[in-house]
Amino acid sequence: MHRRDLGLLTLRLAVGGTLAAHGLPKLVGGPERTPPAWLARIAGSNYPAAWEQGGPQSFAATLTKLGVPWPRASAYAAGLAEFGGGIAIAAGLMSPRANLAVAANMAVAARAAHWKTGFYGQGGYEFAFVLGAAALGLAVTGPGALSLDQLRGRSRA
């Protein structure tokens, strides 16, 4: 095992876990819904509110206000890219496809939802930019030796 592989694993777990945590409320959240207790403990005191305000219908309404085409389908696509892509990135699975889907989703999020605020600060696009850039970097490097792709014989590690 090389230090590079440990570094890629660390990056994948951080980026993938963050994406999955942001995508899950978009897919299964909604009024009067709460995350599992263990997940709320890990994610913190703001996470239950994200579930309550989440869900595909709520997210689609937000996308409608932003002028995103096909808001309902886009809401599901974004939620799946974040949650499913996050899980895949963390596991080192389906690279580079999952990474590219996440990078594209983050580019759309940065442009459609955060661009007008600018790079820095509350509502800025720096968070989407960093997650998208990390996903793109992982698409280029591959997931490393400590990955499901490697176990399946499909990694460039």
Per-residue pLDDT tens digits for 46-99: 999 999 999 999 999 999 999 999 999 999 999 999 999 999 999 999 999 999
Q: Produce one character per residue of 50-89: b if its CB has 16 or more CB atoms within 10 Å, e if not.
A: bbbebbbebbbeebeeeebeebeebbbebbebbbbbbbbb
Q: What is the pTM of this model?
A: 0.91
| Average pLDDT score over residue span 148-156 | 82
| Average pLDDT score over residue span 118-140 | 94
Question: In whole angstroms, how large is the CA radius of gyration of the chain?
Answer: 16
Q: What is the pLDDT of residue 154?
A: 74
| Average pLDDT score over residue span 98-126 | 92
